Structure 1
């Protein structure tokens, strides 16, 4: 796969996650097994091994965990972020204090397995739409505190990031529409106009459940329209109706099997919460041996 530009990892936030994860694992007494069994002066090397096919994402985070416990350890990434790694691939090699490697193992793997799982899922979704002109987007359905990392992993897998949070796009969803409707007819138009006045620098997206709502969003001048839980036939009609005046995003009821047919409709994007909320962590192990 060609080189890709990945989002920046927010290492300040990552360090907070690492501290919390280590505190959860170590408690007040620390790694009692390692402290009791492993001499503090013993040095060791370890490798991170892919035990199934996966797309790699998160090695910089795993490195951060090991360095938190041994600032002098040597961490060598053996593959690139976003690279497809068949079962049996060595992902990284670490050398340092044996106690630190053992104590860091599970926390490092928890981060790495989760992010590789997200990247692997994203690659499957992106591959299902390859060549169609329709792009796969993630959503805000992320693990609390892990959004930056999970969106990084989505990008490593070859899919794209939607808005990061509530702050970087106005997105008028169904509950916003319902409340706006309490003021009377024309709620979508009023909502778009108010958004333009208050946040003129932001793009505005409207969620539409019907073709009538698509029409109202177009008349209001929305930049993006989310086609929520629509059939392929309805989405095809929305594409004709829109005629390029707004970007269209299919969402709701999106499955991997359905993606190729959606890719033929002419929508610009497909968003899928499954990229982050229903992911199986990848199977990765750490194998360690004492230096001779």
Structure 2
């Protein structure tokens, strides 16, 4: 097995063109450095450095091996830094904006678990489907569906493959029937969500090269995603929700997916920050935690 210390000697010697210089930088005796290099060459089965009394140069095998040795050292160093960052006690207050339905049904519990792991953190939640202004409002980070139009914002993907799902309750479908095409949605009660200042009433579907953009109607609309989902559960119409919002109900059969042979709109869940410099240790730890929670949730039967 290749030793970390032997790789260090080889890389430093190659960079300096001198084994004695490598030994000085690593605080080793020349004899120990020489033994490390010989041990590495024996392990890999090739001479890496051609040595003489006055010069030291890479062999052809050494040139090929150097990049891999350097990458291995960098990977070990990066791993150590990641563990050191994880060991640091996170503290301070984190203000987080999130969509209403997913925030109440899933994210709140995941965030409670996050706080249990980091006792020095305080969390302020803003649960709303209105898009938070990360520059004007006291919000450090926002969870949003879709990639923000503002190019100055940084969107870090959490669930990049998430899409919308067209769904309704068994009771609604028993009374009104299943739509067989996107155009048939025009004669159904569609539950529309107000996103920001805009009413989401143009629902998009695709099937190969074919794209359908349907303007839907209905007697109910709300700026709260949870309200829209509850209306759907009560049999009051058809919803076009993020699959993450509806997944528990779909798995339990409380809602049934519709038009499954059509591809629905993309709805990637992202962690949005005003600038990459805002990716503090707390935000980085939160992102890692939420990614793990989402992966486990989506993989569950």
TMscore range, shorter length? under 0.3
Answer 1 or 2: which has greater strand percent.
Answer: 2
**TM-score relative to the length of structure 1:** 0.24
Larger Rg over CA atoms: 2
Structure having greater relative contact order (Cα 8 Å, sep ≥ 6): 1
